[in-house]
Amino acid sequence: MPAVLRKAAFFAILLLFWQGACSLQFCPDYLLPAPWQVVASLAQGWREGTLLYGLLISLKRMGIGFGLAVLLGGALGLLVGRSGPLAQAGRSLLMGLQSFPSICWFPFAIILLGLQEGAIIFVAVMGAVFSAAIATRDGIGNLPRNLTGAALTLGARGWRLYTAVKLPAALPGIITGLKQSWSFTWRSLMGGELLFGNLGLGHLLMQARDLGDMPRVLGVMLTILLVGMIIEQGLFARLERAVQRRWGLESN
C-alpha cells in the first residue's frame, strides 16, 4: 500500500474513533464536540477571515523568529566549534540552555522589550537558537578527521575551510537539527501568543477558551497541528531528502 494511502487510512481510523466516542456520549458535547462541529467552526473562521488572518500573523512571526534563530544559532555553533579546549564546555552550556523552557524567557522579554510584538518574537528565537547552535556545532564536530586533513593539505585555511569544506559536508546533520529547531520555534511562538499576542493562532485559541467554545478550541488546535505537519513534510522532509541524495546518503 502506498505511503499516502496508509496515512489516509490511519487518520480515517482516528476520525472514526472520535465520531464513535461522540455517538456513544462518553463525554458531554461541550467537552468533546463531534468532528462535524469542529469542521463547521473551522469553516466559519475561514469565512469570517479571522482564522486565515491569525494564521498569517503566526506564520510571519515564525518566519522571523526561525530566521533569526538560524542565523544566530549557526554563528554561535561555529564559534563554539572553533573554540578548541572550550568546545565541550560550550556544548554543555548550550545543552543546558536548550533544555531551559522557552516560555520562561517571557518575563525577561517583557522587561527588556515591553509587552509588544518584539517580546513574542524574542521568545520564539530563544526557543530555537540553542538547538540550531548545537546542530551546527555537532554537524561540524562529527566530520571525519581525514576530510579536514585532506582540505588542509589542499590549502584550505581559516573560514575558507569552514565555508568550502566543513559546512557543505555537515549540511545533512545540520538540516536534521534545523528541523528540530523549527518545531521549537513553533512551540515557543504558540506559548508566547497564549500569554500575550495581538491576533495569531495562540490568541484565537485563548479567545475560544474564554468563550467556552470547544469546537473552535479544537479547530484552532487542529490548525496548529496541520501547519506543523505540512511544513515538516512539505519543506524539511523534502530538503532533507534532497541533501541526502546530493551526498549519496539515501537509504535503499
Name which of 12-16, 62-66, 217-221, 240-244 the model is least confident about.
240-244
Alpha-carbon span 29 to 25, nearest angstrom: 8
39-64 pLDDT, tens digit each? 999 999 999 999 999 999 999 999 99
| CB distance 73 to 133 below 8 Å | yes
Mean pLDDT for 206-230 is 91
Which three cell numbers, joined as nine digits, stand for 37? 462541529
User: Is the pLDDT reported for residue 165 higher than 70?
Assistant: no
Mean pLDDT for 91-107 is 82
User: Is the pLDDT reported for residue 153 higher than 80?
Assistant: no
Which three cell numbers, joined as nine digits, stand for 192? 508566547
* Degrees to nearest 5, angle at CA 225 with 60 and 119: 40
Question: Which has more confidence, 152 or 125?
Answer: 125
Question: Which has more confidence, 156 or 60?
Answer: 60
Question: In the chain, where are the structural domains located?
Answer: 39-246
Taking each helix axis as running N to C, give the angle between helix 214-231 and helix 35-48, from 0 to 180 degrees, rounded to the nearest 10.
80
Task: List all residues 6 or more positions away from 248 whose beta carbon is below 8 Å from its beta carbon.
Answer: none
Give the closest residue to 35 by CA, choosing from 55, 4, 13.
13
Q: What are φ and ψ of residue 75, in 5° steps?
A: -65, -40
Residue 148's pLDDT band, with cuts at 50, 70 and 90, is low
The amino acid present at 129, given as its one-letter code, is: V
Give the closest residue to 107 by CA, choosing from 117, 119, 99, 118.
119
Other Cβ atoms closer than 10 A to 151: 19
| CB distance 94 to 80 below 8 Å | yes
Taking each helix axis as running N to C, give the angle between helix 50-81 and helix 167-195, from 0 to 180 degrees, rounded to the nearest 10.
140
User: Is the pLDDT reported for residue 94 higher than 90?
Assistant: no
- The confidence score (pLDDT) of residue 64 equals 94
Given the C-alpha cell 534545523, which residue does it identify? 178
Fold topology of 39-246: MetI-like fold (1.10.3720)
174-199 pLDDT, tens digit each? 787 788 888 889 988 998 888 876 78
- The confidence score (pLDDT) of residue 146 equals 66
